[in-house]
Amino acid sequence: MTEEKTGKSTGRSGETEEDEAKEKVKMTGTAAVESAGAAETVAEEEKAYIHWLYQAVGVGSRGFLRSLAAFGTPRELYRLTVSGALSEKVSERYGKKAAKMAEFSKGYDVIGMYERMRERGIFLVTEDEPQFPERLSRIPDKPYAIYFAGRLPQAEKKAVAVIGARECTAYGRYMAEQFGAAFAKAGIQVISGMARGIDGIGQTAALKEGGYSLGVLGCGVDICYPRDNRALYETLLAEGGVCSEYPPGTEPRAVLFPPRNRIISGLCDAVLVVEAREKSGTLITVDMALEQGREVYALPGRATDPLSGGCNRLIRQGAGLAASPEEVLEEIMGGAGKGSFAAAKGQAVQGRLVFLEGVQGELWEILDFNPLPAQELQRRYEEKYGKTVALPVMFKELLELCAGGYAGQVGGGYFMRIMKT
């Protein structure tokens, strides 16, 4: 064929212009991939210096960390630190801290330490990255970066914080389980602090229903605190996630927990308080949630119950009354989530103990989460149903309820309600 017939010209090696064009595109594509890879490597290197900085500065030094931003990037700060120039630049107030940074950095392998952290399944994400939680990026005093293991929450899904007392009542335990399970069934992410009591109970219930939960820790993500929640911690790593603004290896300290509460509320659309005393650390999270513009709900309780004092006060001050999971779901999800809400509501109804019949079912209805004497139960039974029940018969039915796990016996003649979930 001639060049005129083919409409193509050949190069010096016999290749056509079309071949050359394809080769150029191929080379450009390869260069783009290599460039993207190089950019990613640079980004990871920068995060390695951020990891160094967080460790070198130490926890509880957020003011010092902010002041260091004036001297350049973390990489530049590292160079200033190891050269000794940083001590000359900072104010007298921070002189000792700069000296400690220099001492910490002697022989520190920036890239190697970061890579070892990554190998352990721990990641660092900064506010400039797409995977940084969108809700968190909009709060005042947001963290510059957070560490996490497992998965972070999905921005497109609703999230609720379930929080409350560590030493909760049987009533609080049951309600935390009900709300946690209902949120999971409706596709709502449950965020909490993995603490004993309400926090851990709500998260465990959500995970049991196949939902997502995130534990926000007041220590490094490689530390399980409290130790009692080891099973929950392992499940979160496998099926949900844990995060912290503190570097791995940071031991839990009382001073670290109040700041982490702003992250719990910041990651959510709403906060639910299940049980809290009048003066409770839980209310710190509520204050932060209100500053961040989050909705706050509280579970009502008896006026005489100390663990309901904080919740009742919140309701008096305008918090949403969380009478049932269904009501809170309807408010949080609105019209967009009617299908999921209906499904969750239906499943919640199926979980009630409607199959208890006869005297057992009637007795279960009058049992309370607080232990009551047999004589009081007999009085309530007669008042509610308009008929009498002999004490021996009542004892027999109550003991069968206890054997089935639906009631608990306390001090011989006292009985209380226990909920199966």
Could you tell me the two tokens for 34? Answer: 């290599």
pLDDT computed for residue 61 by the predictor: 75
pLDDT computed for residue 171 by the predictor: 87
Helix (H) or strand (E) holding 8: none
| φ and ψ at residue 216, rounded to 5 degrees | -100, 115
Which residues lie closer than 8 Å to 375 by C-beta, 6 or more apart? none
DSSP secondary-structure letter at 304? T
pLDDT computed for residue 25 by the predictor: 40
pLDDT computed for residue 256 by the predictor: 93
Long-range CB contacts (< 8 A, 24+ apart) of 278-282?
Answer: 278/306, 278/309, 278/310, 278/313, 279/310, 280/165, 280/310, 281/257, 282/163, 282/164, 282/165, 282/310
Residues of the chain with pLDDT under 50: 1-15, 17-18, 21-38, 335-354
For residues 207 and 233, the answer to whether their CB atoms sit within 8 Å is no
For residue 213, what are the β-bridge partners? Answer: 190
What is the Cα–Cα distance from 204 to 221, expressed in whole angstroms? 18
Whole-model pTM above 0.85? no
Which residues lie closer than 8 Å to 281 by C-beta, 6 or more apart? 257, 258, 261
Q: Which of 222, 227, 226 has the alpha carbon at shortest distance from 117?
A: 222
pLDDT computed for residue 175 by the predictor: 92
What is the Cα–Cα distance from 279 to 372, expressed in whole angstroms? 28
Helix (H) or strand (E) holding 196: none
pLDDT computed for residue 41 by the predictor: 62
pLDDT computed for residue 4 by the predictor: 38
Q: How many helices (H) and strands (E) does the chain have?
A: 19, 12
* Whole-angstrom Cα Rg for the chain: 29
Q: Which of 50, 60, 104, 65 has the alpha carbon at shortest distance from 81?
A: 104
pLDDT tens for each residue of 103-154: 999 999 999 999 999 999 999 999 989 999 999 999 988 998 999 999 999 9
For residues 101 and 84, the answer to whether their CB atoms sit within 8 Å is no
